[in-house]
Amino acid sequence: MRERLNSLYPFSSLLIGLILAQALATVHVYLSNTVLCDSLLAIKGAGYLIIPNSHVMEQLRKAAPAFLGGLFFTFSIGAGISMFSLALAWIWDRMLYRKKFLLYVFLVLWALCLAALNFRGFKLFVTLYFLLIPPVVFFIAAKQMSYWNKKNPRSRPNEIIHIIPVILLALFLSWQIDNRMFTDFRDIYLLSNPVGSKINKFYYKYTLYPAEIFKSLNQKMLKTAMIENQKADAARMLEDIFLNDDYVPIQQNIDTDLKVVTIGDDFIFKRHDRSVLQISAKEFFHNPHSAIMEFEQKSDTWALFRKITMFSLLSGFPLAVYVIVHGIISILFGFFFNLRTSSLITSILCFVVCLVFIFSFQLNRTRHISERNIAEALQSGHWQDRVAALKFIDKNGLEIKQFHTYPELLKSNYIAERYWFVRTLANSRKPETYRDLLGFLNDSHPNVASMALYGLGKRRNKEAIDRIMQVIKTSDDWYLQWYAYKALRALGWRQTKLD
């Protein structure tokens, strides 16, 4: 058994790296949630509308949302760091023959990475991800490879059989990457079946928690602001300006997103008690939005971490899934075959399945639609053709009501089809389509209901404000509330003190 576990060093070392990442991510998200909860309480205490609402706010101090939200970091940054550390251990053992002086080179690169991540401000948990996970994964993988080398001194050439499929699959996967990949994957594999739909709901429900950690200020829905050393009239003027950019003025002693202090004729914009921008009052009042945007850009210290997280999601996550599935299947086959045979069969099986999956994905997302064959595609018996036509209609801003299949589309049972149909209603200007759009606010799937909110905002009909406000106050879905607030802002609504 020990020999088999050591032969599966990619699986075991990766699994330990992911467990460590999950432990860190859970605490990271939990602490972020408590900070968000404090901000929401301050905004609510100041008399303003909060997003997320009280239903969601009650969950912020509980462990479950932190654990489930932490899974995003585990399978993005955690998977990326673990896979990179595993690859580095393999290179050091198999290609560099464990030359000790090269470890110092790795340590220097490691230190430079930590310095770059903290260059614009120290981040405790980002540092912990990169400080703890790499040495643990590297050490475990190197130790297991050392044991395996002693037991099987001629095994190194055979490993190329397992590595080549991974390289080929990575190349095929990179062929799929474009700005539509995530939505196409969601439509084809998640929204098309009950299991995928539940995974999709889980993703949209719990990724908003970790996203709050590394969003830039211009990406956040609500921000807090404190204005110091100002006369009453000047303070009211500044509050009014900041509310236009969703900075809610508060008086409580918390760490606000923006603190404005006055020195002479200048305003000092601070974040976390660090001066970010100094600007004259005259220049600020001439173009306040531009000054706020400059402050947000200069105070963004998470840009590098966001890029690494996205890269890890695109590369580390699929590789980690491959290694985990490969390890589990190899263990199961080990009950029937010897070590080498089970490993070889597993690699062939995983490669074939992944290859079929990738080409199936490409085949399903490639639908040739032009303005001449839209009507024909909308009548197709394949929902993929109908969705492709709806995407074309949405992209080109065509009137959906002109197509005689409109009544059938309105009653579709396919989530992806309803989603894109509602998107097309946002471009329509027919009164009857507006009523249909309102009806989709009650759709059972949050992705469809969110598109109804998007459409109401895009259609600029202020009569919808009360309906949208009802969604914000009664929904327990943060994702829906996020879209509802954006729709309100698109309709010209802005924060004022509630009665």
Annotated domain spans of the chain: 2-212+305-361, 219-301, 371-490
- CATH code for the part of the protein at 371-490: 1.25.10.10
Distance separating alpha carbons of residues 37 and 57, to the nearest angstrom: 6
What does the pLDDT read at residue 307?
A: 94
Residue 153 is predicted with a pLDDT of 57
pLDDT for 471: 95
Sign of the torsion angle spanned by Cα atoms 355, 361, 363, 366? negative
The confidence score (pLDDT) of residue 150 equals 66
Q: Of 206, 211, 223, 209, which is closest to residue 50 (Cα–Cα)? A: 223
Does CATH place domain 219-301 in 1.10.287?
no
What is the overall mean pLDDT for the chain?
A: 89
pLDDT at 305: 95
Q: What is the pLDDT of residue 176?
A: 75
pLDDT at 214: 95
Please state, in angstroms and as integers, the Cα–Cα distance from residue 326 to each residue in 132, 251, 351, following that order: 25, 55, 10
Closest to 143 in 3D by CA, of 32, 244, 248, 9: 9
Q: What string of DSSP letters covers 99-116?
A: -THHHHHHHHHHHHHHHH
For the stretch 314-373, pLDDT in tens is 888 999 998 888 888 888 887 787 777 877 888 888 888 988 888 888 888 767 788 888
The pTM of this model reads: 0.91
Q: What confidence score (pLDDT) does residue 116 get?
A: 92
Q: Which two tokens stand for residue 132?
A: 């703890």
Sign of CA dihedral 219, 220, 222, 225: negative
Query: Can you give the pLDDT at residue 210?
Result: 97
Per-residue pLDDT at 5: 53
Low-confidence ranges of the chain (pLDDT < 70): 1-9, 147-159, 366, 499
Q: Residue 163 has what pLDDT?
A: 78
Residue 200: what pLDDT?
93
**Neighbour count for residue 29 (Cβ, 10 Å):** 27
- Peptide linkage before 165 cis (omega within 30 of 0): no
pLDDT at residue 142, as a whole number: 87
Q: List, edge to edge, every strand of the sheet that includes 247-249.
A: 247-249, 223-227, 258-263, 266-271, 274-280
Q: What's residue 433's pLDDT?
A: 94
Reduce the DSSP state of residue 303 to 3 states and report it: helix
Tell me the C-alpha distance between 326 and 333, whole Å.
Answer: 10
